[in-house]
Amino acid sequence: MALLELRDIGKIYVSDGGVAVGIRGVNLSFERGEFVAVTGKSGSGKSTLLNVISGMDSYEEGELLVEGQPTSHYLQPEWEEYREKYISFIFQDYNIIESFTVLQNVELALMHIEDKKARRARAMELIRRVGLESHARHKGSKLSGGQKQRTVIARALAKDSPIILADEPTGNLDFATSQQIIALLGEVARDKLLIVVTHNYEQVAEHATRHVRIFDGAVESDHVLRDTASMPEAAPAEKAAPADKKQKTKQMIGNGFTLGHTIFTSKPRLSAFLCFLMIVGTLGIFLVTSLFGDMQMLFAPNYMFRHIDGRLVLTKQNGSVFTEEELSSLKSEHGANSYLHYDALLDEGAYNTITLPTGEDEWDHEYVSADYVYEKSYGDDILGRYPQERGEVLLYLPISYQTDVGRNSILLSEVLIGRVQYKLVGVKYYYDNNRMPECLFTEDGFRTATASYLLTNNSTSNGEIAVYAKDGTLVKRFSLYDMVTSFELPSDKLYIDLDEYHDLTKGTDYVTEVTLKTHYFSYDSYFDTGIAAGTVFTNSFTGESITDTRPSYDAYETGNAQALVIGAELLCQTAESVLEKTYKQASLFFGDDEAAHIAAKRLRDAGFIAVPSDTTYEPNAAEVILSVISCVVMGLGWILSILFLSFFIRLCSSRTLEAFKGDMAIMRSMGIPSGVIRIGTYVRMLIALIPAFILVILTAILIFTTPKFSAFFVYLYPWQYALIFIGMIAITLRATHNHIRHLFDESVKKSLKGGRAE
């Protein structure tokens, strides 16, 4: 059975509306061991014959049989497999991969050798045989024409295919080198089929066993010069045992990774641009995800109360207030760990504020919303200590405030929380800036913060200060919102600041007589011409006389009273005089939510309204519509941003992939498995993603280690980083897939003409 047989083969070219015949009615049969010289005038169809035999060009008539098997039904994948198994091609115009070194070009044809050391040794042996040992590390673009041709010949010999096709293999070589190459080809052809197209038959006459002459697309003559059957047979090459499918797949993946790395490193400038492109795209997705990172908050549960594990909110069905005795009894009866009588601050996180400095100037500050808590542990790694006195507080803050508050020590001695001046004794930082900061108090400290909040923010308290002269004339009336609480004042003292630009915490305030009337304060002092030195004040509670020994102070020169400072205990007494008559809610605290639900059922059976804090509610229609609209707008914004980035990356990466089109076509013509080429192309693109991913990781580390940066980014959770990486990988793979699909849809000949290797 013939190795290769052509039966009435015809090839027709159509271009610019015209039809040209490439070859027609070709009938030829070839066996192993033949050295076939094909001659003919330029344009007679010699190269077309080789292109059809190699499967790089299709044929429209007849049948090409390989070992008796027809090929007329072959599609591109079958032709790729055919070239991989049967064909080595030596091109007239080199078709060397110029961005690869000589060694890399030859090793490309030796991928069937699994051991890399053996592959390298075989490549160097062939390079020595064509006289290029000193140029093994030179790139193809640096070689002369003759050196390129010798590289291509070494590459064709390396593949060890049963059919070698050579199109003018010595056309660019000097006479001596041509003789060496023809002799080398003749030696190889002893157990292979070698078909050489040449214009100089004399060069190959010594080694040729058959001479075929082509004229006007047809076989003009076919002469057998010597009987190959009588020639001494070459020793059969040792063949490795056929590998199973799993082993072939493993080898193909390994070769693909090697090829991808080689392609990436072969064109450093282009690869650097591709890395930059991937960095831009990945950082773009990172920033877009950061901008829309809080979109997940739209899906947060709508809790009726602030959810604290084990919290149970309680009120009476008749609307009456609780007494301390009742709450203490309920705590004991139902096994609660603790209770909180006035729990309003637990549910007012958006309205609770901390005043933090943002610069060196005392007027540079920022109002931060926070949750107020007590009886909570943040572990042992806090800076400072936990609060122990009613006037102390620990802050749990986003890391972006670390510079203001302190890293290794507590830099602030006092902090204004709501309208109460607390001593800051501890701080701990966290990175998740999607969550609220927290203020941790003692139980009495929480009680004070509650009193301040209810008096200064709750309109039902209707609190204000009335300042009278001694004759009973009203001098000034101002809201309790202007009130600041200090833990350093005795319970019966009230400071009034007479200077609107004066810092309440730093000095010349005046001790005054305080009279408590329900939830109003009255102030008796002489304001006609200011407060004179030596003025005697009388405490209306104790009858104690207090003499002011500080200098005279003219109220009219500096302005009327603008603010006041009140003692913490007096504040709590005032607030609770209101709350004990009006506040109808309380909270019990259990070990967990399950225990809270069990207690809630018993309390409801006992006639109370009891709601565990993990209970959710259905928002009204307006809230639902607003949430849906917000979600849709933010989701569309994110999707459109990703689509734009995807389009940008696909467009730019396609241009970089186009630069490799010629190289890939050469690989296909060599019979490199299509799977290896595909994997190599994907690997090359994924390698370009590595710097982008490293930069994102470094950016995340920078955000985590540089406190101020954290304020400019919404905290991203691990799944969001995974989304960024997976999204970028998907975009990259999609762009590469589209390019590969278009590449393999084209014939090799068309790709070789359209591609341009550097």
Q: Which tokens hold the place of 395? A: 């802050």
Terminal CA-CA length for the chain: 43
Q: How far apart are CA 600 and CA 606, in angstroms?
A: 10
Mean pLDDT of 736-753: 77
- pLDDT score at 555: 33
Asked whether the predicted pLDDT for residue 121 surpasses 90, the reply is yes
Q: What percent of the chain has pLDDT over 70?
A: 78
Mean pLDDT of 680-706: 88
Comparing CA positions, the residue from 27, 28, 82 lying closest to residue 56 is 82
Asked if residues 337 and 618 have their Cβ atoms less than 8 Å apart, the reply is no
Asked whether the predicted pLDDT for residue 490 surpasses 80, the reply is no
Question: What is the tens place of the pLDDT at every residue in 347-370?
Answer: 876 567 888 766 555 556 778 888
pLDDT band at 36 (very low <50, low <70, confident <90, very high): very high
3-state secondary structure of 238: coil
**Domain covering 4-230: architecture:** 3-Layer(aba) Sandwich (3.40)
Q: Which residue has the tokens 């739209």?
A: 298
Higher confidence at residue 140 or residue 550? Answer: 140
Q: Which tokens hold the place of 116? A: 């890399």
Question: What is the tens place of the pLDDT at every residue in 566-595?
Answer: 778 877 877 777 778 888 899 999 999 999
Task: State pTM to two decimals.
Answer: 0.68
Mean pLDDT of 400-404: 73
Asked whether the predicted pLDDT for residue 716 surpasses 70, the reply is yes
- pLDDT score at 513: 33
Least confidently predicted of 424-438, 563-577, 588-602, 734-748: 563-577
Higher confidence at residue 742 or residue 206? Answer: 206
Sort residue 559 into left (φ over 0), alpha (ψ -120 to 50) or beta. Answer: left
- pLDDT score at 27: 95
- pLDDT score at 388: 92
- pLDDT score at 17: 65
pLDDT band at 624 (very low <50, low <70, confident <90, very high): confident
pLDDT band at 457 (very low <50, low <70, confident <90, very high): low
Question: Could you tell me which residues come within 8 angstroms of residue 692 by beta carbon, excluding any fewer than 6 positions away?
Answer: 275, 278, 279, 281, 282, 283, 728
Q: How far is CA 636 from the centre of its chain?
A: 19
- pLDDT score at 343: 87
Question: What is the tens place of the pLDDT at every residue in 495-547?
Answer: 554 443 333 333 333 323 333 222 223 333 322 323 343 444 443 334 444 44
Q: How far apart are CA 461 and CA 481, in angstroms?
A: 11
Asked whether the predicted pLDDT for residue 79 surpasses 80, the reply is yes
H-assigned helices in 583-620: 593-605
Asked whether the predicted pLDDT for residue 470 surpasses 60, the reply is no
Domain at 311-341+583-612, CATH class: alpha beta
4-230 against 311-341+583-612: fold identical:
no
Domain ranges of the chain: 4-230, 245-297+624-754, 311-341+583-612, 346-456, 458-580
3-state secondary structure 167-180: ECCCCCCCHHHHHH
Q: Which tokens hold the place of 605? A: 């059976």
Cβ neighbours, 10 Å, residue 490: 11
